[in-house]
Amino acid sequence: QVQLVESGGGLVQAGGSLRLSCAASGRTFSSYAMGWFRQAPGKEREFVARIRWRDGTTYYADFVKGRFTISRDYAKNTVYLQMNNLKPEDTSVYYCAAGPGGVTTGAYEYLYWGQGTQVTVSS
């Protein structure tokens, strides 16, 4: 049974930082890609960043480039999202997701999802 468990969310002031973690278990993810999405109240879920397990290649949404960094720890089966210079508009529930290695930015492409972790940025 595949499980993705996010942690690391919380309340932070604008300009601050948080690091989200996503611990993956239940299958071999070497051929997969891991993504981070977010969803604010009343809005659609939107793509944030993606990393491929096998070669570590990354892709980011334009609105987080230069502020967020996605990385993976192969030995720990864990993916991270380092978020710096946070803004109030980054306030959302952040979700970790896994899908076949060719996935890009569409939520529909991902097969497995975590339960989400709340990130709140105060102004």
Average the pLDDT over 62-76 and give the result: 94
pLDDT tens string 17-50 = 999 999 999 988 889 999 999 999 999 999 999 9
Residues in a beta bridge with 39: 93
> Tell me, what DSSP letter sits at residue 85?
S
Residue reference for tokens 């491929």: 52
Tell me how far apart the alpha carbons of residues 45 and 33 are, in angstroms, rounded to a whole number: 18
Instruction: Determine how β-strand 112-113 pairs with β-strand 58-60.
Output: unpaired
Residue reference for tokens 């959302």: 92
Q: Is 109 helix (H, G, I), strand (E, B) or coil?
A: helix
